[in-house]
Copies of this chain bind each other. A is one copy, B any other.
């Protein structure tokens, strides 16, 4: 069955034209999903306290900001308002974040880390460095830089 695939990958035809065929496994979307999968596995094995990639982004951003409205936070970490709400709910349930109503704007919900959350943020960052490194382990330093540069161009 896998043989089947390889064979079909080679029947380009003998006309000189070579109409570059479509190969799913070579498409940016497909590879992107695979890379993300590997990264998530590494993340799960190195990040403590069951913190997920999404949760870490929020925690790290809050650690930098101190406090922030929920929507604004979402924009900073590239998350939908609905997604952020779920993340904050779960983090707050774990005692990592806390929320309060903004005094100046009754619509806004101010989010911040708890004392416990700030301690965790520091541990997480240490793990995060290892995680990025492990994810990029197959590449040289120059390649890592090149990959990040290219990815940022298509983000």
List A residues at the B interface (Cβ < 8 Å): 1-2, 4-5, 8, 22, 24, 26-39, 43, 53, 57, 60-61, 64-65, 68, 72, 76-78, 125, 128-129, 131-132, 135-136, 138-139, 143, 146-148, 150-155
Contact = CB atoms under 8 A, between A and B. Distances in A.
Work out how many copies of this chain go into the complex: 2
B39 A29 contact: yes
Contacts of A139: 150, 153-154
Given A4-B65, A30-B77, 4 more contacts: A28-B39, A34-B78, A135-B154, A138-B154
18 contacts: A4-B64, A5-B65, A8-B64, A22-B125, A27-B132, A28-B135, A29-B131, A31-B152, A32-B151, A33-B36, A36-B36, A37-B78, A38-B154, A135-B154, A138-B153, A147-B147, A147-B154, A150-B150
